[in-house]
Amino acid sequence: MSDLKENIIKDKSYKLALRIVKLYKYLRDEKKDFVLSKQVLKSRTSIGSNVEEAIGGITKKDFINKMFTAYKEARETRYWFNLLKDSEVLETKLADSLLNDVEDIIKILGKIISTSRKAN
């Protein structure tokens, strides 16, 4: 079940996960925030892991379900990034950059899910 779109989403979700690990370190070390930083790290890196599971899915249904889970996690990530921005924990420029990344991922995942459902 592998194609170019899946590689793009795999790469983008992995790169976002790397940025989130760095964000966690920044929030922990520079902002001395231990609650939000752990939440961001724990749940936001799951987008990529769900994409990876989807790619290795046994059935089309399994693939779609895991991609949908990644989609939901990406939407939740957008919520957390907006919260960090609006609460001024993150500078606007950094928050907007993270939001742009997650918006791309949400759009790609939505397209993959839509296309996959139509193919059934």
Instruction: Give per-residue pLDDT as tens, 55-104.
Output: 998 999 999 999 999 999 999 999 999 999 999 999 999 999 999 999 99
pTM value is 0.87
How would you classify residue 111: left for phi > 0, otherwise alpha for psi between -120 and 50, otherwise beta?
Answer: alpha
Contact 106, 87 (CB under 8 A): no
- In terms of residue numbers, what domain contains 55? 4-118
At 5 the pLDDT is 53
**CATH number of the domain within which 69 lies:** 1.20.1440.60
- In 10 A of CB 50, how many CB atoms? 21
Nearest to 20 by CA among 64, 76, 65: 76
Domains in the chain, number: 1
E strand or H helix at 78, and its extent? helix 60-86
